[in-house]
């Protein structure tokens, strides 16, 4: 699989990626001097997990998994959501530091707004793991664990093309573009990955963005909120599709995909091809019913499992396993990363994709 260098020249307005390299390395130990403590700590120690707002089912599942699996592994979990926003997350992290956590796992609301708290953690000798979202503009992050988010975008872009071609073999196709929240470092990564596939088709005229809103800044959805996506889709439809047919919509996740489909149905329009991400229950149902076209399978269990493996390595005084030592520059340092591979899911492969997930597999029968 190809590997993409994530340069901060592109993360500057959250994170645009530059394409480099040609193959992912085999998993290797983290480079010496990563900043992580390697002296080990007691097995029953406290582990802090700071999660963002509950904007998707995957975050809710992560909370449960971290609580259950850290406890089972013999640690004392301190897992908190910051539904009140950035200031609440800052206070929660400060509290975790005061309470003596040995490892701090951070799924940031705003990846660039935790510098003071991360400095406090580093000063206390706490190892910091960025979970799902890269922590930017700080040297105080030791590891990054996530799915390959640029590849997520690529898969979404290709799925949009494939779905439209299956529905209508010949273009051109009318499309609209949605992106995630601008304060989430992953949002532009998803968008850039998708546009690496879609931009050539826009340039050659096979795709037409009827509204003209082609940039990330024009496509963002503040807070990943469904109501914001639905409102924008309502405006796009009323302003641009009184007579035009809408063939497809790039949606960065399932919550927004369902909001977009609600808007389209409310306007009495034919259902376009709509992408998604996160394999949320209602979206898997929608895919099986022939409404939403695709989602992305990023098994939260595998992501949490690797973080807990890393905690075990650190507790034993060992360097955790990484498989991407040099792609993720956060603007201050290159953060050693462990990346998992995402999977595109459509109605055709849903049963296979979710075979090991008892909840989702039941929806595909």
> pLDDT (tens digit, 9 = 90+) per residue, 327-349?
899 999 999 999 999 999 999 99
Please indicate, yes or no, whether residues 18 and 116 belong to a single structural domain of this protein.
yes
User: Backbone phi, then psi, for 34, in 5-degree steps?
Assistant: -70, -15
The reply to whether 286 falls in a domain is yes
Residue 107 pLDDT = 96
Residue 279 has phi, psi (to 5 degrees) of 55, 45
Domain total of the chain: 2
What is the average pLDDT across 189-202? 97
pLDDT at position 128 over 70: yes
Residue (of 307, 298, 297) closest to 69 by Cα position? 307
pLDDT confidence of 8, banded at 50, 70, 90?
A: very low
Mean pLDDT across the stretch 346-363?
94
Instruction: State the pLDDT at residue 36.
Output: 44
Cis peptide before 172 (omega within 30 of 0): yes
Judgement on whether residues 173 and 290 belong to the same structural domain of the protein: yes
Q: Residue 211 and residue 117: Cα distance in Å, rounded?
A: 42
For the stretch 258-315, pLDDT in tens is: 999 999 999 999 999 999 999 999 999 999 999 999 999 999 999 999 999 999 999 9
Same domain assignment for residues 28 and 122:
yes
What pTM value is reported for the model? 0.81
Cα–Cα distance for residue pair 238/13, rounded to 1 Å: 30
Per residue in 204-222, pLDDT (tens digit) is 999 999 999 999 999 999 9
Residue 185: the pLDDT is: 86
> Are 121 and 210 within one domain?
no
Per-residue model confidence (pLDDT) at position 173: 98
Tokens 């085999």, located at residue: 26
Question: pLDDT value at position 39?
Answer: 80
**Res 336: pLDDT:** 97
When pLDDT is cut at 50, 70 and 90, the band that residue 19 belongs to is: very low
Answer yes or no: are the C-beta atoms of 196 and 156 closer than 8 Å. no
* Same domain membership, residue 309 and residue 272: no
Sorting pLDDT into bands at 50, 70 and 90, what band is 9?
very low
DSSP 329: B
Q: Do 174 and 131 share a structural domain?
A: no
Single out the residue of 31, 36, 102, 34 nearest to residue 73, CA to CA: 102
Summarize pLDDT for 33-49 with one digit per residue, the tens: 334 456 899 989 999 99
CATH value at residue 269: 3.40.50.2300
Q: Are residues 293 and 162 in the same domain?
A: yes
Q: Side-chain half-sphere of 261: how many Cα atoms within 13 Å?
A: 23
Q: What is the pLDDT of residue 38?
A: 60
Rounded to the nearest angstrom, the gap between the alpha carbon of residue 43 and the centroid of all alpha carbons in its chain is 30
The two beta strands, 173-177 and 207-209, are: parallel
| Better pLDDT: 245 or 56 | 245
| pLDDT tens, position by position, 222-234 | 999 999 999 999 9
Please report whether residue 241 resides in a domain: yes
DSSP 13-39: TT-------S-PPPPEEPPTTSS---S
Q: Are residues 108 and 188 in the same domain?
A: no
Domain assignment of residue 1, yes or no: no
Burial 72-95 (b: 16+ CB within 10 A, else e): eeebebbbbbbeeebebbbebbee
d(CA 329, CA 266): 43
The confidence score (pLDDT) of residue 18 equals 33
pLDDT reported for residue 58: 87
In the chain, where does DSSP find H-type helix?
8-11, 57-72, 86-98, 115-123, 149-167, 185-203, 216-219, 226-240, 254-266, 281-288, 300-315, 350-353, 358-363
Is 313 part of a structural domain of the chain?
yes
Distance, CA of 6 to CA of 362 (rounded, Å): 38
Tokens of 26: 């085999």
Residue 323 and residue 267 share a domain: no
Q: Which tokens hold the place of 107? A: 């799924």
Of residues 7 and 309, more confidently modeled: 309
345 part of a folded domain = no
- Beta strand 343-345 pairing with 295-297: antiparallel
What percent of the chain clears pLDDT 70, i.e. is strictly above it?
90
Task: Please state, as a whole number, how many other Cβ atoms lie within 10 Å of the Cβ of residue 71.
Answer: 12
Give yes or no for a contact between 342 and 278, defined as CB atoms under 8 angstroms apart: no
Task: Mark whether 154 and 293 lie in a shared domain.
Answer: yes
In terms of domains, do 91 and 16 share one? Answer: yes
Asked if residue 222 and residue 109 are part of one domain, the reply reads no
Query: Would you say 127 and 102 are in contact if contact means Cβ atoms under 8 Å apart?
Result: yes
Given this model, what pLDDT does residue 263 score? 98
List the one residue out of 137, 143, 139 whose CA is nearest residue 185.
137
356 inside domain: no
Q: Is the peptide bond before 335 cis (omega within 30 degrees of 0)?
A: no
**Residue numbers of the domain that contains 122:** 8-141+299-340
Q: Which two tokens stand for residue 305?
A: 């499992």
Handedness of CA 253, 58, 130, 92 (dihedral sign): positive
């Amino acid at each position: 699989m190809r590997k993409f260098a994530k340069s901060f020249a592109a993360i500057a307005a959250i994170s645009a990626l530059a394409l480099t390299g040609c193959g992912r390395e085999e998993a290797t130990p983290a480079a010496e001097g990563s900043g992580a403590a390697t002296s080990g700590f007691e097995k029953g120690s406290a582990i802090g997990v700071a999660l963002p707002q509950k904007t998707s089912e995957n975050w809710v599942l992560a909370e449960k998994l971290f609580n259950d699996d850290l406890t089972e592994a013999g640690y004392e979990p301190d897992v908190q959501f910051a539904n009140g926003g950035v200031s609440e997350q800052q206070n929660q992290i400060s509290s975790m530091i005061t309470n003596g956590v040995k490892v701090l796992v951070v799924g940031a609301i705003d990846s660039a707004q935790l510098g003071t708290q991360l400095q406090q953690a580093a000063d206390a000798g706490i190892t910091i793991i960025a979970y799902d979202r890269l922590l930017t503009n700080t040297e105080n992050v030791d590891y990054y664990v996530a799915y390959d988010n640029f590849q997520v975008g690529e898969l979404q872009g290709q799925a949009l093309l494939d779905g439209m071609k299956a529905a209508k073999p010949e273009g051109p196709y009318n499309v609209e573009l949605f992106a995630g929240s601008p304060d989430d470092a992953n949002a532009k990564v998803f968008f850039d990955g998708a546009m690496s596939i879609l931009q050539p088709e826009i340039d050659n005229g096979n795709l037409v963005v009827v509204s003209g809103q082609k940039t990330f800044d024009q496509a963002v959805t503040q807070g990943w909120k469904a109501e914001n996506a639905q409102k924008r889709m309502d405006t796009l439809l009323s302003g641009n599709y009184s007579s035009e047919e809408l063939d497809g919509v790039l949606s960065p996740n399932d919550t927004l995909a369902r909001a977009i489909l609600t808007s389209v149905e409310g306007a009495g329009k034919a259902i376009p091809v709509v992408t998604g991400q996160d394999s949320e229950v209602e979206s898997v149902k929608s895919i099986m019913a022939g409404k939403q076209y695709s989602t992305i399978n990023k098994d939260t269990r595998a992501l949490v499992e690797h973080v807990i493996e890393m905690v075990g390595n650190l507790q034993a005084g060992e360097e955790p396993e990484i498989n991407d030592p040099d792609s993720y520059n956060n603007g201050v340092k290159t953060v050693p990363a462990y990346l998992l591979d995402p999977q595109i899911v459509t109605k055709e492969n849903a049963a296979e994709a979710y075979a090991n997930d008892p909840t989702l597999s039941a929806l595909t029968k």
